[in-house]
Structure 1
Amino acid sequence: MSTPFCPEHPNIMPRPPASRTSPARSEPRSASENTTQAARRQEILEVAAQLFATRGYKATSIRQIAEELGMMAGSLYYHIRSKETLFVEIHNRALDAAASRIFSALAPHTSPWARLEAACRELLDIQLSPSSLTLPLMNTIRSVPPEVRNALIKKRDEFEAIFRNIVEDLPLPPTIDRDVYRIILLRVLNTANDWYHPGRLSREEIARQIFDIFRHTQSETDATSPPGKSSDDAPGASRSRGRPASPRKSRAAVMN
């Protein structure tokens, strides 16, 4: 039996099934048939996502997915094209759902630092949720075929563009490389499940600690800035002050 997706799970919307073996139809499906097909495909995506998350990509076969659904393996191909395309779809929808949550968290904020804190808090909550599929699916990248890996990397680049744009807007000291800053920040957030144990600090408090550490570079610069001159005025403190921006993907690229 499949379990319903919680908000951390991919918000899977059924798409028309791509079939290898479906018979030709002389008449279009009725509304009730379409509803049944959509519900069945929803169940397939949910069950497959759970198996991929718990067993990994290599250890999950089409036969196992079909058995979990009470189907013959051949019948499953009526709804999907291949294991590879099924996994890519589930992975991408998980990241889309995570991106949607982060964009919602960013919406009330205009300050670059407030936006960074909101993004850190939301991503950490997603990654630490016991029912989240985002982290297990992201951790399978080394076990997938090259063509699948390329598709996953493309989607992750789009997802990371959220943080890339946030970091580009931060008033960081000119000595801080923004790419290195972003990579380390995402590594800390995305591996939180490896080191976090519930106890003295809540998830929100941990997120605040991470944010404070990554803002500490700015605090240090503020403390050493000449009187009357803030670090925001330093050359290269932001994209508009002294540090030319390298070509980046726009936020729109992440949302499409």
Structure 2
Amino acid sequence: MRTAPASPNGDETGAQAERRQEILEVAAQLFSERGYKATSIRQIADAVGMMAGSLYYHIQSKESLFVEIHNRALDAAASRIFSAIAPHTAPWARLEAACTELLDIQLSLTSITLPLMNSIISAPPDVRSALIKKRDEFEAIFRNIIDDLPLPATIDRDIYRILLLRVLNTASDWYRSGRMSHDQIAYQIFTIFKHQAEAEADRRAAPTSAKTRSRAAAPVKARTPNRHPGDMKSP
């Protein structure tokens, strides 16, 4: 792994910082469009008008560049979600706010969060472990919210979180603009997951109540003693 040279005073000059920011933005777009594996250092250098060797003055390696871009994207997404849930204290309200914000992030035409997360599979093992660690930190936002939800014991919270995030993170695959806004779609997703949780809670409570009601409503039949035919009197 190459190491980028430091400036004499240990800090980047304004021009260097501006150039590096340009590299990050261009590389982020290429990574999101082509994926990690299909994006080369030469392609990034060409896109910013540099020689491939000169690019290493500003970055350490393709691997470190991708990790930095990936982590910055998730940090920005996390910051937006924290801001969205901050005004709320009720667990369901916090989940709705988090769902709304994440869906808007993933459906934004300029968002690179989801494409970068999807590139984890094609990254080398050592890079992948760093990416997964950051992804797990990001998902902890939803883990903490879901841990506070009044879910019935029959619902596994990890599975609940995985399914919810899968729906939100793949929305760009099925979303078509026009019929509903991002907020309306997020509300539908949230409502379905909340309804399923509440329906399960009702179902768990229903059998005991139903049996109690059926016993109370059932007519009591008079018991007739058994008699031998010989005991019956003729009219």
Q: Same fold (TM over 0.5)?
A: yes
Write out the 4+ residue segments of structure 1 that deviate beyond 6 Å after TM superposition.
Answer: none
Partner of 2:219: none
Partner of 1:214: 193
Query: Normalized against structure 2, the TM-score is what?
Result: 0.82
Amino acid in the other structure paired with 1:132: S
Residue 170 of structure 1, aligned match among 145, 149, 172: 149
* Residue 217 of structure 1: how far off its partner (Å): 2.8
* Residue 133 of structure 1: how far off its partner (Å): 0.6
CA contact (8 A) 1:19 1:79 kept: no
* Residue 174 of structure 1: how far off its partner (Å): 1.0
Equivalent-residue separation in structure 2 for 1:53 and 1:103 (angstroms):
24
Partner of 1:45: 24
Residue 189 of structure 1, aligned match among 168, 176, 180: 168
Partner of 1:100: 79
Residue 87 of structure 1, aligned match among 52, 66, 69: 66
Alignment coverage as a number of residue pairs: 206
Q: Which aligned pairs between 1:106-125 and structure 2 lie closer than 5 A? A: 106-125=85-104
Partner of 1:144: 123
Deviates more, 1:56-65 or 1:164-173: 56-65
Query: Which structure has greater helix proportion?
Result: 2
Q: Which structure 2 segments of 5+ residues have no match?
A: 207-235
Identity rate, percent: 72
Equivalent-residue separation in structure 2 for 1:104 and 1:71 (angstroms):
38
Residue 43 of structure 2, aligned match among 47, 59, 64: 64
Partner of 2:138: 159
Pairwise CA RMSD of aligned residues?
2.2
CA contact (8 A) 2:4 2:60 kept: no
Partner of 1:200: 179
Equivalent-residue separation in structure 1 for 2:29 and 2:52 (angstroms):
18
CA contact (8 A) 1:172 1:217 kept: no
Q: Which structure 1 segments of 5+ residues have no match?
A: 1-17, 227-256
